[in-house]
Structure 1
Amino acid sequence: MSANPAERRAANLRSGAQAASAHLPALILSAERLAAMVAPGAHGLRRGGPGEDFWQYRPASQGDSARAIDWRRSARSDAQFVRDREAQTAQAVALWVSAGQGMGYAGAPDRPTKADRAHLLALALAMVLLRGGEKVGLLGQPARAGRVQAERLAEQIAAGRLQAGDDDAPPLDVLRPNQRLVILSDFLGDPAWVDALLARASGLGVTGVLMQVLDPDEEVFPWSGAVLFRSLSGAMRHDSRDAGGLRDAYLARLAERRDWLRRRAEGAGWHFGHHTTGLPPAMALTWLYQVLAG
């Protein structure tokens, strides 16, 4: 007797949950090791206020209580001084990783897919930011602080699935004022959504980073001879008799796309970077953290 649709859906959900939970420990361990390579630090604002780090001594003024006086510093002079701390404000950082079918590509069995590398970078970056006191969440989900949020993000990222189509785009209606947004994608599809995203982000005071993640094969176009090119979804295909003859045109288009992304990002006050899955992820993570902290 065959299962009814509700039972099949439940079985699919259980299977997906089991697959995600099996992948979760390895993802967390890899992200923790990667995050440990980057020195985290809270993003202090250069003004007095609630915080733990020393900022400056200033002469006591009317309205300062006796408890606010630093008596050890004051004993070295005839005046009384107050020890100011540096104000620290947790910034909400949202993460979005493309789930288009194209992100499932890996040019060799010993390389991660683009999606796997993007997920690793996203989780490791979240861990570093959370250790620095920031609030982090996936785009459209609440941004929270603390160790529990790192575990929650790991579960959400591990449970992610690629969509049916080759491309996707972040939803614009979930952007929130003054967020910082990190976008990880291969940016190989129609880039019209980038203009729409940056336009809306500018209106909301949202700043962030566009990070292009590619496989080494997509960087150098190593193919020659007769090759059938097909998108992972099967929606696009091109049968070439001389793939090597396409190399120069492809590399020129890739450079043009990167220049376009960089100009759009910089014009909106954002940052643009790119990473190849054949390289260690530590450099990409360090760069992401530095541009967010800057």
Structure 2
Amino acid sequence: MPLNTVPLTPAELQARANAASAHLPGLILSAERLAAMVAPGAHGLRRAGPGEDFWQYRPATQGDTARAIDWRRSGRSDAQFVRDREAQTAQSVAIWVSNGQGMQFTGGADRPTKAARARLLALALAMVLLRGGEKVGLLGQPLRSGRMQAGRLAEALLTMTAGAGDDDQPDADTLRPGQRLVLIGDFLERPDWLPGVLSRASAMGARGAMLQLLDPDEEAFPYQGAVVFRSVSGAFSHDSRDAGGLRDAYRQRLAERRDWLAAQATGAGWHFGHHRTDHAPAVVLEWLYQVLGD
């Protein structure tokens, strides 16, 4: 079908802009409430330097002043010790949220779509990081600090349009050295692109976390009897007369996929986690924030 090239009138453009931004206040409020459950702080560099957190005791050496000596620790031995603090600095964190059509799935009206939960987690994580002084942005877009960045991210997340297929992938050309990365998707279609992206990121010194986000029906496979399975995009369709008979094989393949994803992440020095849309998001948000500091 040919594309419609008729330009929009100002009224039509305004109407579309209003529709696109209608959910902004709700998303921002929900993300703020969720982010408030996590205590932000600067991430350490795992080495001695300027900072507030204790790093290690070390024997005093020539050049250390009497003021630098920790006399309480030194009093427990015949040597003198200095209390080092851990170096801290602002990080640059890029977040990728899958916009494949498969992310629009929900197995029940009482649950959010995977896309909605992914947007909430991405924005709440960004808010926590921004409060800690980090630079944050969506992968491929400018990473900024400051209070205004949360609003920019909310708008960018809500105006994302679903791709043509059920799955998609991050643009490896947008990776930058030294970044922290967060990849959020369902990873149900085997992501053959993942080893290449992780290898390229590792070569740049970019580490991070992967989060597999699923609807509970995609984990439990509660279907029985005659069921027609169709992907959201319509690219896949399977007519089953005995859906319950597929359950064990499906769960086995899902477990194998999760093991593969975890192995890819571990091999690259990344972290891997998973989350269900019927679970409270605060726990996985805390996990994401903590592993980014490792």
- TM-score using structure 1 length: 0.85
Note the C-alpha offset of 1:89.
Answer: 1.3
Secondary structure at the counterpart of residue 170 of structure 2: coil
Unaligned runs of 5+ in 1: 74-82
Secondary structure at the counterpart of residue 210 of structure 1: strand
Relative to structure 1, is the Cα distance of residues 127 and 61 closer, same or farther in structure 2, using a 3 angstrom cutoff?
same
Note the C-alpha offset of 1:144.
Answer: 1.1
Note the C-alpha offset of 1:165.
Answer: 1.2
2:177 counterpart residue number: 177
Note the C-alpha offset of 1:143.
Answer: 1.0
- Within a 5 Å distance, the mapping from 1:97-116 to structure 2 comes to 97-116=97-116
Secondary structure at the counterpart of residue 7 of structure 1: coil
Note the C-alpha offset of 1:12.
Answer: 6.8
2:80 counterpart residue number: none
Aligned counterparts of 1:9 and 1:203: Cα–Cα separation in 2? 48
Relative to structure 1, is the Cα distance of residues 9 and 235 closer, same or farther in structure 2, using a 3 angstrom cutoff?
farther
1:21 counterpart residue number: 21
User: Could you say what the CA RMSD is over the residues aligned between the two structures, in angstroms?
Assistant: 2.8
2:129 counterpart residue number: 129
- TM-score using structure 2 length: 0.85
Matched, 1:192 2:192: yes
Percent of residue pairs bearing the same amino acid type: 67
* 2:95 maps to amino acid: L
2:117 counterpart residue number: 117
- Within a 5 Å distance, the mapping from 1:217-228 to structure 2 comes to 217-228=217-228
2:49 counterpart residue number: 48
Note the C-alpha offset of 1:54.
Answer: 8.8
How many matched pairs? 277
2:76 counterpart residue number: none
Relative to structure 1, is the Cα distance of residues 23 and 205 closer, same or farther in structure 2, using a 3 angstrom cutoff?
same
Aligned counterparts of 1:87 and 1:269: Cα–Cα separation in 2? 21
Relative to structure 1, is the Cα distance of residues 261 and 85 closer, same or farther in structure 2, using a 3 angstrom cutoff?
closer
Report which stretch shifted further, 17-26 or 100-109. 17-26
Aligned counterparts of 1:282 and 1:269: Cα–Cα separation in 2? 24
Secondary structure at the counterpart of residue 157 of structure 2: helix
Relative to structure 1, is the Cα distance of residues 14 and 239 closer, same or farther in structure 2, using a 3 angstrom cutoff?
farther
Aligned counterparts of 1:147 and 1:111: Cα–Cα separation in 2? 30
Aligned counterparts of 1:180 and 1:269: Cα–Cα separation in 2? 12
Note the C-alpha offset of 1:48.
Answer: 3.0
Matched, 1:148 2:148: yes
Relative to structure 1, is the Cα distance of residues 16 and 211 closer, same or farther in structure 2, using a 3 angstrom cutoff?
farther
1:257 counterpart residue number: 257
Aligned counterparts of 2:196 and 2:9: Cα–Cα separation in 1? 35
